[in-house]
């Protein structure tokens, strides 16, 4: 059913936590270059992909950006928080993801983007030392300071709307704490400096309290707590997460459904990576790696459903390793060795070697998520935006649902959500289109 969507008039403020990091500055420099017509938004669905409308015989494929009312990339203004008091130009130069010539072309704009002091506690990111940080007696006070930053930024830049995205470092592994089952418990925890309230949760709370959509690009919990999800629903704020699905896991969520579609069995999947950027250094700490490992490991079981197919998948070994190797910088190299078996149990192997660039893959995801979350807010969506699972390694989901990991089912879900938003029929890909109701996504998955 067609939904009322507020038009994207005026400026869209984009606030990034981890403003001076590699992903953030690669996104910023790229967006500024694209806005000057110096580059193309390669990798971005919102800017480059089409969407089919109606039957295949109708040959109607508008661009997504012409089909739903997205904010214009030129209407975005940028700010955020970091523990390093630097201009985004200096940080981008230091990150060494983009060539100097690309950064010099947008130097003036990048130089003007500087962070607010961060909410930071070293216990949560052991390998970093922050000196540009907020001071306050309680976590509640720090959260109030973040809210003030948000309001000041909005007023100073004359923004109509805002989106906040966590591109900050991966925090240590924490299971969801039972004390925060309700929002009152969480507020009490902030006032009493509960040790399990991480900085990323403080930003998430502040965003929701200000009515601003919040996206979590890292694997730490941040907004993925029942209390904060309930709060988002109550305040009519969309939230999404977690952990951008960029390199190895993107590949995994294409190959694993292929094996399952052909009923090929799996003995084991060994994934290893070398990575030399600051993210690699942070993940070198076992507690931060554990957060990433849990996120990366969750994918296979959920796609392969060993409980339904014990003969094919029950006893598979799945290992994930990340090794910090400075010479490679942001140029991550991933290897996957996949031991499979087929007819009569005969064994085969698949080897994948992905020489990728981490932040180059993440930047268009940041752009799409910002624009889609702004659309979600203007369409009056609230709570977890499962239709954006496409972008995440560990998609947030309702408690009574299994997460969807298969990249192409995720894409179908995203596009059907867009179709429904503007009153077009979802496409089921059955032979007699339009005679059937859309099948529930759980049926499609099985």
Ligand X SMILES: NC(=O)c1ccc[n+]([C@@H]2O[C@H](COP(=O)([O-])OP(=O)(O)OC[C@H]3O[C@@H](n4cnc5c(N)ncnc54)[C@H](O)[C@@H]3O)[C@@H](O)[C@H]2O)c1
Distance from CA of residue 8 to its chain's centroid? 22
Question: Does 244 sit near ligand X (CB under 6 A)?
Answer: yes
Cβ–Cβ < 8 Å for 216, 224: yes
Kindly write out the interface string for residues 292-331 of this chain, putting x where it contacts ligand X by CB under 6 A and - elsewhere: ----------------------------------------
Question: Does 265 sit near ligand X (CB under 6 A)?
Answer: no
CA 30-374-440 angle, to 5 degrees, is 110
Applying CB under 6 A, among 14, 23, 32, 371 the residue interacting with ligand X is 23
- Which among 16-24, 36-44, 100-108, 176-184 is the span making contact with ligand X, rule CB under 6 A? 16-24
Question: Does 242 sit near ligand X (CB under 6 A)?
Answer: no
Question: Does 120 sit near ligand X (CB under 6 A)?
Answer: yes
Applying CB under 6 A, among 18, 30, 213, 276 the residue interacting with ligand X is 18
Grouping H, G, I as helix, E, B as strand and the rest as coil, residue 1 is coil
Q: Which is nearer to ligand X, 29 or 119 (CB)?
A: 119
In the 8-state DSSP scheme, what is residue 244?
A: B
Cβ–Cβ < 8 Å for 166, 17: yes
Cβ–Cβ < 8 Å for 148, 193: no
Question: Does 395 sit near ligand X (CB under 6 A)?
Answer: no
Question: Does 382 sit near ligand X (CB under 6 A)?
Answer: no
Question: Does 44 sit near ligand X (CB under 6 A)?
Answer: no
User: Rule CB under 6 A: which of 164-193 touch ligand X?
Assistant: 167-170
Question: Does 119 sit near ligand X (CB under 6 A)?
Answer: yes
Cβ–Cβ < 8 Å for 74, 10: no
Query: CB 131 → ligand X: shortest distance, Å?
Result: 11
Q: Which is nearer to ligand X, 43 or 69 (CB)?
A: 43
Cα atoms found within 13 Å of the Cα of residue 291, Cβ hemisphere only: 25
Question: Does 338 sit near ligand X (CB under 6 A)?
Answer: no
Query: CB 291 → ligand X: shortest distance, Å?
Result: 9
Question: Does 290 sit near ligand X (CB under 6 A)?
Answer: no
Q: How many residues bind ligand X (CB under 6 A)?
A: 34
201: nearest Cα among 306, 129, 283, 119: 119
- Sheet of 317-324: strand order equals 317-324, 265-275, 333-341, 347-355
CA distances to 90, 100, 182 from 106, rounded to whole Å, are: 12, 10, 45
- Residues 68, 423: Cα–Cα separation, whole Å: 11
Residue 142 has a CB neighbour count (10 Å cut-off) of: 24
**Which DSSP helix (H) or strand (E) runs through 198?**
none
Residues that bind ligand X (CB under 6 A): 17-18, 20-24, 81-84, 118-120, 125, 128, 167-170, 199, 217-218, 243-244, 246, 277-279, 282, 358-359, 361-362
């Amino acid at each position: 059913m067609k939904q009322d969507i507020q038009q994207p008039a005026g400026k869209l403020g984009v606030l990034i936590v981890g403003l001076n990091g590699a992903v953030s500055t690669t996104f910023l420099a790229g967006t500024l270059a694209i806005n000057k017509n110096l580059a193309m938004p390669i990798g971005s669905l919102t800017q480059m992909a089409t969407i089919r409308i109606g039957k295949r015989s109708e040959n109607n494929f508008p661009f997504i950006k012409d089909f739903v009312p997205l904010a214009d990339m030129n209407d975005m203004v940028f700010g955020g928080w970091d523990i390093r008091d630097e201009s985004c130009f200096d940080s981008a130069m230091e990150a060494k993801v983009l060539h100097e010539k690309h950064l010099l072309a947008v130097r003036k704009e990048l130089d003007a983007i500087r962070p607010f002091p961060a909410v930071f506690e070293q216990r949560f990111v052991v390998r970093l030392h922050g000196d540009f940080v907020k001071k306050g007696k309680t976590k509640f006070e720090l959260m109030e300071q973040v809210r003030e930053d948000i309001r000041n930024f909005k007023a100073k830049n004359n923004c109509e709307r805002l989106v906040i995205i966590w591109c900050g470092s991966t925090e240590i592994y924490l299971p969801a704490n039972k004390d925060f089952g309700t929002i009152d418990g969480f507020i009490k925890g902030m006032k009493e400096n509960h040790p399990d309230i991480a900085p990323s949760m403080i930003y998430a709370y502040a965003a929701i309290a200000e009515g601003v959509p919040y996206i979590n690009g890292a694997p730490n919990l941040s907004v993925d707590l029942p209390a904060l999800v309930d709060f988002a629903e109550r305040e009519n704020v969309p939230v999404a997460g977690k952990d951008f699905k960029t390199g190895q896991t993107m590949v995994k969520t294409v190959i694993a459904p292929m094996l399952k579609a052909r009923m090929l069995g799996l003995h084991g999947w060994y994934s290893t990576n070398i990575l030399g950027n600051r993210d690699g250094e942070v993940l070198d700490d076992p507690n931060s790696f554990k957060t990433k490992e849990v996120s990366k490991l969750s994918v296979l079981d959920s796609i392969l459903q060993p409980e339904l197919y014990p003969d094919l998948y029950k006893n598979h070994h799945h290992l994930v390793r990340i090794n910090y190797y400075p010479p490679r910088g942001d140029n991550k190299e991933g290897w996957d060795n996949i031991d499979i078996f087929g007819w009569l149990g005969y064994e085969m192997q698949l080897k994948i070697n992905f020489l990728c660039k981490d932040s180059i893959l993440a930047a268009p995801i940041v752009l799409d998520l910002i624009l889609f979350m702004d659309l979600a807010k203007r369409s009056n969506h609230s709570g977890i935006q499962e239709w954006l699972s496409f972008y995440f390694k560990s998609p947030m989901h309702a408690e009574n649902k299994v997460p969807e990991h298969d990249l192409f089912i995720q894409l179908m879900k995203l596009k059907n959500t867009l179709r429904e938003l503007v009153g077009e029929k979802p496409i089921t890909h059955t032979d007699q289109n339009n005679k059937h109701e859309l099948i529930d996504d759980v049926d499609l998955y099985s």
